[in-house]
Amino acid sequence: MRPFQVGGASASTPTTEFVSTYEDVTRVRVEDPGRFARLAATRSRRTVADTDGTMMIIAADHPARGALGVGSRGQAMASRTELLDRLREALAVPGVDGVLGTADILEDLLVMGALEDKIVFASMNRGGLQGSSWEIEDRFTAYDAASVKAAGFDGGKMLTRIDLDDDRTPFILEASATAVSELAHHELIAMVEPFMSSRPGGPGTKVVNDLSPEAVIRSIHIAQGLGTTSAYTWLKLPAVEHMERVMDSTTLPTLILGGDPANDDPIALRASWKRALDRPNVRGLVVGRTLLYPAGDDVTAAVRASVEMIR
């Protein structure tokens, strides 16, 4: 894949503040780390209110949880520069509204001018490392509400897995509730991604999310009750069977997540997105690996097809 070239600057940000090479990104981190805050303050912004409430968001927060694989490629996201190339290509596709990521990725994109005129969601809890014994206790190791506000971003996203057999579950429920309340205090969107999860193989085995309609409905009811207000809460949910029944369990705006490229047939996956998007409270997609590392490796074509689906 060819390196993606940086686009133009916004009217509010001096062109000299942006860089065009990854070597320059490192140089800024060494010589001028304050530039990230300056760029965040002057970034050309659009918000959810500037859309019709339907959004195409590119997700890029898997690596911070130690999840680098895409399908059969166990180290697909190991190269940060390749991931950034793919992200910048995806964000340049007309109709893409924004991105979801951790500070390291968002700041790289910021200093290269790729966040201009984009909606930005900040990933908050990445402490539940993939494959760890404590995976359910997904501690908030990335953004908090105050830093999301300071950066001028639009909201924070939290993964909230609920394992009724894991005593760590109450921690993540309490931590997610606190984050929802604090984001709402700043009038920022709290994007909650809930799952009913378990370890079918017993302690120490892989965490598996239950994608049955009944389990997703149960997770929705738990998630939408978190925090002191639900006024700013959105849901991030999988596209499963019987989405009309699933989405009848909430009035909250919902974005559909991308699915697992390792297990999902691309055609069937897109069909499931389309069925979910037919529900009136489903307001778009938040997709990462499926679009950034698509079959055939044509990022632009994969993203464009998804944009056309929701517009």
Condensed to tens digits (0 to 9), the pLDDT of residues 199-255 reads 999 988 999 999 999 999 999 999 999 999 999 999 999 999 999 999 999 999 999
Contact 48, 55 (CB under 8 A): yes
d(CA 165, CA 163): 5
Q: Give the chain's residues under pLDDT 70.
A: 1-15, 260-264
Can you give the pLDDT at residue 142? 98
The radius of gyration computed from the CA coordinates of the chain, to the nearest angstrom, equals 19
The 10 Å Cβ neighbour count of residue 184 is: 19
What is the residue whose two structure tokens read 């598996």? Answer: 208
* Residue 44: alpha-carbon gap to chain centroid: 21
Predicted local confidence at residue 9, as pLDDT: 42
Helices (H), ranges, the chain: 22-31, 35-42, 80-91, 103-111, 145-151, 169-185, 213-224, 243-247, 266-277, 289-292, 299-310
> Which pLDDT score, from 0 to 100, does residue 5 have?
44
Dig out the tokens for 82 from the structure: 């390749």
Of the candidates 162, 159, 242, 153, which has an alpha carbon nearest to the alpha carbon of residue 199? 162
Name the CATH superfamily housing domain 15-310: Aldolase class I (3.20.20.70)
Q: Is 230 helix (H, G, I), strand (E, B) or coil?
A: coil
DSSP state of 240: -
Q: CA torsion, points 129, 130, 132, 138, in degrees to nearest 10?
A: 40
What pLDDT is recorded for position 209? 97
**Which pLDDT does position 47 carry in this prediction?**
87
Q: Which residue has the tokens 């738990």?
A: 222
Q: What is the pLDDT of residue 15?
A: 56
What is the value of pTM for the model shown?
0.93
CA-to-CA distance for 187 and 120, rounded, in angstroms?
15
Please answer whether residues 78 and 100 qualify as being in contact, where contact means their C-beta atoms are separated by less than 8 angstroms.
no
Please report the pLDDT score of residue 14 as a whole number.
Answer: 56
Cβ neighbours around 17 below 10 Å, total: 16
